[in-house]
Amino acid sequence: MQTDILVIGWGKGGKTLAKTLGASGRDVTMVEQSDEMVGGTCINVACVPTKSLVTSASRRREADDADTWFAESVDRRDTLIEKLRAANHAMLDTLASVCLVSGRATFVGPKRILVQAGEDQLEISAETVLINTGTVPAVPDIPGVDDPRVFDSTTIQHADPMPKHLRIIGAGPIGLEFAGMFRGFGAEVTVVNSRDVLLPKEDRDVAEALEAAMAADGIRFVHGTRADKIAFEDGEDAVLLAAGRTPTTSGLGLETAGVELDERGYIKVDERLRTSAEGVWAIGDIHGGPQQTYLSLDDSRIIGAQLSGEDSRTTTDRVAVPTTVFTTPPYATVGMTEAEAREAGHRILVAKKEVAKIAAAPRPKIVGDPRGIVKFIVDADTDLILGARLIVVDAQELINLIALAMRAGVTATELRNGIWTHPSTTELLNEVLGELSLA
């Protein structure tokens, strides 16, 4: 068959473009190899289901049976994901100009793929190809990884029975989120970190505050230790591999399409997400940038502008991109660390305060978790915010306001003097930014 737009993989950016282009009358074909991944990684195995479990874990009381609570939490997770998956399928299936194809895609030539599903085969040619196949959990090549008690971030969401003693290999965002989650469910958790300290690229005061908050929940950290094998002792029943993710480029036949890869196996792209093959773009995690679904969404805007003839956006337009790790409390960041700001040559003002000592923002105390720290880095000459670090209740929401202020050129003084609802975590801006000082 022939199509105008071929999208390989049902991720956030790909499905958004498929819907937009299909609604405008373009002939679009979406290929997805797994019915369980309709809608993409985020809604099926990553962002949404894991945060559902994090939320359930945070609501468990000591009197609640751990096994029962976990099983019910997984059921709620599955019910939610089934609804989201169905909604994502309907989003494209209801568009007359969009064709949905199930099967494994392999390039057999430039802008030409072969889709296989069992014994069935279909060859598809397109004017434009969007590769949106994403990443999967990385599996280190060490003895013991094939033990049934070893999980990755996908399989552990349906662990049965629930692990009572969980050792996590990796102290990045995935490892930290699952550490907090399973500690909430009642497991004993140890995080094995190959680095000498937690979050080595972060300011030490912020990283230490996060580790202290997690340690207060009973999570144990072992730093400077690299796993060279996995073996189980009495009383240990599960290991989680959280050592990053790897691109799904193997088996796609990209060399046949003329699509080049980097040394890590990700697709090489330019600032407009164009690959080395004419008419082929890479979208989302597969091109090796920061792996966040909202950046995949922005990828769709960049590519969509080109396909509509505007060509008005690039990846270099992105500034003040916020991130959140859903620990308890959440750890959110935007912009520079204090060390980065100094290295860049800025004369800086710094404001830092423990959440428990912020009188103007009582919400963390109201909800029963006044742990954490808040830190702002401000340019002393322009009064513009260079960066912020929040370990506090509602950090995942407040960081978006700060990021918008940075993009819009709103000064620290304007945020300090802002009128915010009460009681809210946002009120900390009034107090903490009022304590800026040269550093």
Enumerate residues 6+ apart whose C-beta is below 8 A from 143. 229, 230
Contact 377, 335 (CB under 8 A): yes
Write down the pLDDT at residue 25: 95
Enumerate residues 6+ apart whose C-beta is below 8 A from 407. 319, 320
Percentage above 90 pLDDT, the chain: 97
Enumerate residues 6+ apart whose C-beta is below 8 A from 436. 349, 350, 351, 376, 378, 412
Write down the pLDDT at residue 21: 97
Task: Dump pLDDT digits (tens) for 400-434.
Answer: 999 999 999 999 999 999 999 999 999 999 999 99
Domain limits, CATH 3.30.390.30, in the chain: 323-438
The number of angstroms, rounded, from the C-alpha of 160 to the middle of its chain's C-alpha atoms is: 25
Phi–psi pair at 266, nearest 5 degrees: -85, 155
Reduced to 3 states (helix: H, G, I; strand: E, B; else coil), residue 191 is strand
Task: Dump pLDDT digits (tens) for 213-238.
Answer: 999 999 999 999 999 999 998 766 99
Write down the pLDDT at residue 85: 97
Instruction: Give the C-alpha separation, 232 to 360, whole Å.
Output: 49
328: Cα within 13 Å, side-chain hemisphere: 24
The string of DSSP codes covering 283-327 is: -GGGGSS---HHHHHHHHHHHHHHHTT-----GGG--S--EEE--
Write down the pLDDT at residue 233: 82
Q: If pLDDT is split at 50, 70 and 90, which confidence band does 324 have?
A: very high
| Residue with the two structure tokens 């985020």 | 42
Instruction: Give the C-alpha separation, 315 to 282, whole Å.
Output: 13
Task: Dump pLDDT digits (tens) for 233-279.
Answer: 876 699 999 999 999 999 999 999 999 999 999 999 999 999 999 99
Catalytic residue check, 422: yes
Domain limits, CATH 3.50.50.60, in the chain: 2-135+246-317, 150-243
Evaluated on CA atoms 350, 355, 356, 357, the torsion sign reads positive
Task: Dump pLDDT digits (tens) for 352-396.
Answer: 999 999 999 999 999 999 999 999 999 999 999 999 999 999 999
Strand partners, 396: none
| pTM for the predicted model, two decimal places | 0.96
Task: Dump pLDDT digits (tens) for 102-158.
Answer: 999 999 999 999 999 999 999 999 999 999 999 999 999 999 999 999 999 999 999
Mean pLDDT for the chain overall: 97
Cα–Cα–Cα angle for 168, 288, 284, rounded to 5 degrees: 100
- Indicate whether 310 pLDDT > 90: no
Evaluated on CA atoms 61, 62, 68, 73, the torsion sign reads positive
Q: Which amino acid is at 230?
A: I
Using CA atoms, how far residue 282 sits from 286, 359, 401, in Å, is 7, 48, 30
Q: If pLDDT is split at 50, 70 and 90, which confidence band does 439 have?
A: confident
| Residue with the two structure tokens 């979050």 | 199
Write down the pLDDT at residue 312: 83
Write down the pLDDT at residue 245: 96
Set 223, 287, 346, 422: catalytic member = 422
CATH no. of 2-135+246-317:
3.50.50.60
CATH no. of 150-243:
3.50.50.60
Spatial CA neighbour of 316 closest among 265, 366, 272, 263: 272
Instruction: Give the C-alpha separation, 333 to 400, whole Å.
Output: 10
State the pairing for strand pair 165-169/150-151.
unpaired
CATH for the 323-438 domain, from 3.90.79.10, 3.90.1150.10, 3.30.390.30, 3.90.180.10: 3.30.390.30
- Indicate whether 92 pLDDT > 80: yes
Write down the pLDDT at residue 80: 98
